[in-house]
Structure 1
Amino acid sequence: MTPSDIETIELLPAAPEPKQLFVLLHDAGGTAADMLDLGQLLGGAFPAAVVLLPEGLVGPHADAAGAAAAGLDDAAAMAARVDVLAAFLRAQQARFGISEQGSALAGFGAGASLALALTDAHDGLVGRLLGFGGGYQFWPAKAPALTTLHLFHGQLDPVIPVQRTRADYEHIMSLGADATLDVADSLGHELHPALMDQAVTRLQTCVPLRLWKDAQ
């Protein structure tokens, strides 16, 4: 699969020169349209942003057990999908003239797991990651230095237990990651408006730790 083969819903800004790029990855067994509410929210909050919703990058997996294993088959399958996603991101950055640090990657469920794998393999290809209801398939050996991670999870998620994401978060923080974790008490495995609103708040208010260090 090449970037040109990927069917994509595009939410384009009225601004002649886009400033940000958001790429949103749906869950296993889902479709790009599942991410429309988040895409429209991000487009409203960042009116100069390009928001892209690609179809099918996470691969075909519809069962809960598969999704709980990150919706992906094994290390080779994950690596192959990461390569396709990286090529897609670079192509869109070049197409719209947007920098890596002006780009953000968001995913739900298996889409979040793929996004996390991307930041592990290609640190700095995006400046921010928004992971909803997902987790690492394989723990990274080092934290990304150029990507800030924002994780969001439902306390009652039956597909990917919150304990797993808490363990992911504790692991990457022990490695020195620039990351946040928000857990909603009454939510399950869902891309809920409360989590989406919190994601926008994180984007608008969290200054990446690397910028603070540079300023010092």
Structure 2
Amino acid sequence: MTHVLARLPDHGELDLLFLLFHGVGATADSMAVLAQRLAQEYPQAAVLCVDAPDEFDAAAGRGGRQWFSIQGITDDNRAARVAAALPRFVATVRALQMRFAMAWPRTALFGFSQGAIMALEAAQAEPELAGRVIAFSGRYAALPDHAPRDTCVHLLHGLDDTVVPHGPAVAAARQLVALGADVTADVLPQVGHELDPRLIERAIDQLRTFLPQRTWRAAFEAAPVQSTAASSKDLGR
């Protein structure tokens, strides 16, 4: 699998690793607008747009790529196709983490459409793969049956998306909340199946403001333990 390096910091050490995964029939170049915005907001991040491994089989010779084939895809066979594609996807993430010496909590996976499906399912299947998954116009192949430990999931969708309707994403968010996951879901009106600037800005807001459960847990663990026993002097006697 090839990848396109969008940006490295001009100076100083890397602090974050952002991996961007495109939709079916597209290429890494299609994620450029998101990559540029992330690089602007996070100058110490390595921002990489990753090409899918296979040629788009619905339009051979046109340069598009795919994570899995959508020829004859149905709700019944989608999960199997995603599962078959996951090992290469996960291996790519792990290889890039090793290349840039970046631990999984400081890695974020950004996916659009089919790339979002892969990122969401990879975080479900592979423990400690990424600290955050930001899914634009995507969905799970099947409703999650467990919460990905210490991974924040941010679902972003257009209300007018007719390619991947927002309903499955909303249902998945409700399921993840019930399972105790760190999850947000934003559905914006007058947005279709696209990396709309409003969705990108909402994603940036979530990255800035949403505190993961692991952050709270670390803060409580680091806090000094104080005795709750009261003396007679404390009680005013």
Contact 1:70 1:109 in 2 (8 A): no
**Mapped partners of 2:156, 2:74: distance in 1:** 15
Structure-2 residue corresponding to 1:159: 163
Displacement of 1:163: 1.4
Displacement of 1:78: 1.6
Displacement of 1:58: 7.6
Change (3 A) 1:196 1:90: same
Say what the alpha-carbon RMSD is for the aligned residues.
2.4
Structure-2 residue corresponding to 1:36: 32
TM-score where L is the length of structure 2: 0.81
Is 1:104 the counterpart of 2:108? The answer is yes
Structure-1 residue corresponding to 2:145: 141
Structure-1 residue corresponding to 2:91: 87
Name the structure with the higher helix share.
Answer: 1
Is 1:27 the counterpart of 2:19? The answer is no
**Mapped partners of 1:84, 1:185: distance in 2:** 35
Change (3 A) 1:61 1:118: farther
Contact 1:58 1:111 in 2 (8 A): no
**Mapped partners of 1:132, 1:152: distance in 2:** 5
Is 1:17 the counterpart of 2:13? The answer is yes
Q: Count residues with an aligned counterpart.
A: 210
Structure-2 residue corresponding to 1:214: 218
Structure-1 residue corresponding to 2:44: 48
Change (3 A) 1:38 1:9: same
User: Aligned ranges for residues 52-131 of structure 1 at < 5 Å?
Assistant: 52-57=48-53, 60=56, 66=70, 74-131=78-135
Per-residue CA deviations over 1:180-210 (Å, capped at 9, x if unaligned) read: 0011111011100010011111111111122
Displacement of 1:84: 1.1
Change (3 A) 1:177 1:48: same
Secondary structure at 2:205 match in 1 = helix
TM-score where L is the length of structure 1: 0.89
Contact 1:25 1:57 in 2 (8 A): no
**Percent of pairs identical after alignment?**
37
Contact 2:132 2:152 in 1 (8 A): yes
Q: Which runs of 5+ in 2 are unaligned?
A: 60-69, 221-237
Per-residue CA deviations over 1:143-182 (Å, capped at 9, x if unaligned) read: 1111100110000100111112111111111111100001
Structure with bigger gyration radius: 2
